[in-house]
Structure 1
Amino acid sequence: MSTREKILMAARKAFAEKGHDGVSMSEIASNAGVKKALIYYYFPSKEDLYYEVWRYSLDELEEHIFREVENENVYVKKIKRLLKAYVDFVTNKKEIIKIIQREKENLTRKDQEMWKKVHKRYIEFRDKISGLIEMGKSDKKILEVVDSEVAAELILNGLNATVDPDKLNGIREIIWRGLINSDNEKAGD
């Protein structure tokens, strides 16, 4: 693991435990086993480091769930796989999910450039899920009344509500039944 990656992993752990405002660069340096000045070599500020952790975390989540659906041609199975992959990620990557959950209320902050960038990256991710839902609507696999942005927010927020696998699977099933046109449900089994 490179020094940069060690710093990112130590920062991710610290931010997951204490949030952006609860962590000092000294603490991150100590956890990474590096001098604080070395962090500033890679990341000019705490905000830059936080953004990189956020981006890296969302990239990992996005890659995980979309890798599961990229080769699936049956749309209903694609959505079901996306939901299952999200549940899998939430139950196995708790640190990343904690960061996403912890800083959710800060996504609408406009007082710092970093929060604007964090929000923009979140919207890009949400829009990718929303686009998948829109595709299903145009193929008549998703109910026409479903607002794709609201459905994407429900997926992102609902599947982050808990790390209990049974509850997550229950939430996944509710989301699934709310999206899929009942005429297409058999194709997802």
Structure 2
Amino acid sequence: MATFECLAEKGTTAITLRDIATKADITLSLIHYYFPTKEGLLVDATSYVMQKQIKDIQKELSNIQDFSEQLKKLIFVVHHQFKSAEWRKVYFSLLAAAAWSPKIMEEIRLLQNQLIDLIQENAQNSNVKITNLEAFSRVLLASLNGLALQVMHGASEEQIAPAYAITEKVLLSLISN
């Protein structure tokens, strides 16, 4: 939690292990014991943040059988996750860090593939027909990330809510039973 709070306050480039130790009220040497480098800690933080997102999504989708309804719920959940300024800052800060860190990039790739697999599995279990399920899943993720990025750059909820609605309609139009 201390790492998440520090990332939300300072981002990946300005954060130090000392900041995290201070926030967590532990010694710096204890952090160095588990994470000899800042990159190691950021890889772990990336995994934590992305796994949390995946678990939240799985929980929300677990009782919904119809893929169209799952898609609507997924868009709703992600939209509401990204309403949190802290969540957006941490999420995009870690995505940006992947440009300079092959280890963080690999962690994000693995975790995004888990999310793509989850979408594909739910679609297959619902017996829907989507021409290219992997491409559909990637477009879904890219759309949701792009809308969240627009909010981070100043788009208001009044401006972004219709964009989420259009995204939902477009993606639903690609599904056939």
Superposed pair shares fold, TM > 0.5: yes
Paired residues, number: 171
* Greater Cα offset, 40-49 or 98-107: 98-107
Stretches of 4+ moved more than 6 A in 1? none
Question: Offset of 1:37 from its aligned partner?
Answer: 0.2
Structure 1, gaps ≥5 residues long:
1-8, 185-189
Does the 8 Å contact 1:51/1:117 carry over to 2?
no
TM-score, normalized by length of structure 1?
Answer: 0.74
Equivalent residue for 1:31? Answer: 23
- How much identity, in percent, do the aligned residues show? 18
Q: Does 1:139 align with 2:128?
A: yes
1:21 aligned counterpart, secondary structure? helix
Equivalent residue for 1:41? Answer: 33
Does the 8 Å contact 2:3/2:20 carry over to 1?
yes
Q: Does 1:120 align with 2:95?
A: no
Q: Does 1:105 align with 2:92?
A: no
Equivalent residue for 1:151? Answer: 140
Structure 2, gaps ≥5 residues long:
none
Equivalent residue for 2:86? Answer: 95
Q: Distance in 2 between matches of 1:183 and 1:150?
A: 13
Q: Distance in 2 between matches of 1:160 and 1:171?
A: 12
Question: Offset of 1:174 from its aligned partner?
Answer: 1.4
Aligned CA RMSD, in angstroms, stands at 2.9
Q: Distance in 2 between matches of 1:76 and 1:134?
A: 9
Q: Deviations over 1:60-80 (max 9, x none)?
A: 111112211122111211111
Q: Distance in 2 between matches of 1:80 and 1:17?
A: 32
